[in-house]
Amino acid sequence: MEFPIRQLLPEEFPPLMEEMPERDRPHSLYIRGSMPPREHSFLCVVGSRATSPYGRRMCATLIAGLARYPVAIISGMALGIDAEAHKAALDVGLPTVAVLPSSLDERSIYPSTNKALAQRILSLGGALISETKDPYKAAIHDFPKRNRLVAGMSRAALIVEAGEKSGTLITARLALDYNREVLAIPHELGRASGEGANRLIREGATLVRNADDILQALGLKLLDNPEQLPLPADLTLPESAILAALVEPMEKDDLIEQAELSAQEANIALSSLLLRGLITERLGKIERS
Residue spans per domain, the chain: 6-217, 237-288
* Residue 24 burial (C-beta neighbours within 10 Å; 0-12, 13-18, 19+): middle
Backbone angles phi, psi at 122, to 5 degrees: -65, -45
- Rounded to a whole number of angstroms, the CA Rg of the chain reads 19
pLDDT at 274: 85
Amino acid at 50: A
pLDDT at 228: 52
CA pair distance 44, 151, nearest whole angstrom: 7
Confidence tier at 229 by pLDDT (50, 70, 90): low
How many CA atoms within 13 Å lie on the side-chain side of 2?
9
CA pair distance 276, 10, nearest whole angstrom: 37
| Closest alpha carbon to 125 in 254, 34, 20, 6 | 34
Question: What average pLDDT score do residues 79-108 get?
Answer: 94
Q: What is the pLDDT of residues 159-216, one digit of tens each?
A: 998 888 778 888 999 999 999 999 999 987 777 777 888 999 999 999 999 999 999 9
Q: What is the pLDDT of residues 139-161, one digit of tens each?
A: 999 999 999 999 999 999 999 98
Confidence tier at 26 by pLDDT (50, 70, 90): very high
Q: Is the pLDDT of residue 14 over 60?
A: yes
Q: Is the pLDDT of residue 289 over 90?
A: no
Q: Is the pLDDT of residue 258 over 60?
A: yes
> In 10 A of CB 95, how many CB atoms?
23
In this structure, the strands spanning 41-46 and 71-75 are parallel
CA pair distance 161, 196, nearest whole angstrom: 7
Q: Tell me the range of 49-53, 56-60, 91-95, 154-158 where mean pLDDT is highest.
A: 154-158
pLDDT at 1: 58
Q: Is the pLDDT of residue 257 over 80?
A: yes
Percent of the chain's residues with pLDDT above 70: 96
135 cis-preceded (ω within 30 degrees of 0): yes
Q: Look at 43-47, 79-83, 90-94 and tell me which has the smallest mean pLDDT.
A: 90-94
Query: In CATH, what is the architecture of 237-288?
Result: Orthogonal Bundle (1.10)
Query: In CATH, what is the architecture of 6-217?
Result: 3-Layer(aba) Sandwich (3.40)
In this structure, the strands spanning 156-159 and 41-46 are parallel
Name, in order, each residue with C-beta under 8 angstroms of 36's C-beta and a sequence gap of 6 or more. Answer: 42, 72, 95, 97, 127
Q: What is the pLDDT of residues 63-76, one digit of tens each?
A: 988 988 999 999 99
Per the CB < 8 A criterion, the answer to whether 49 and 80 are in contact is yes
3-class SS of residue 274? helix
Q: Is the pLDDT of residue 36 over 70?
A: yes
pLDDT at 282: 77
Q: What's the predicted TM-score (pTM) here?
A: 0.79
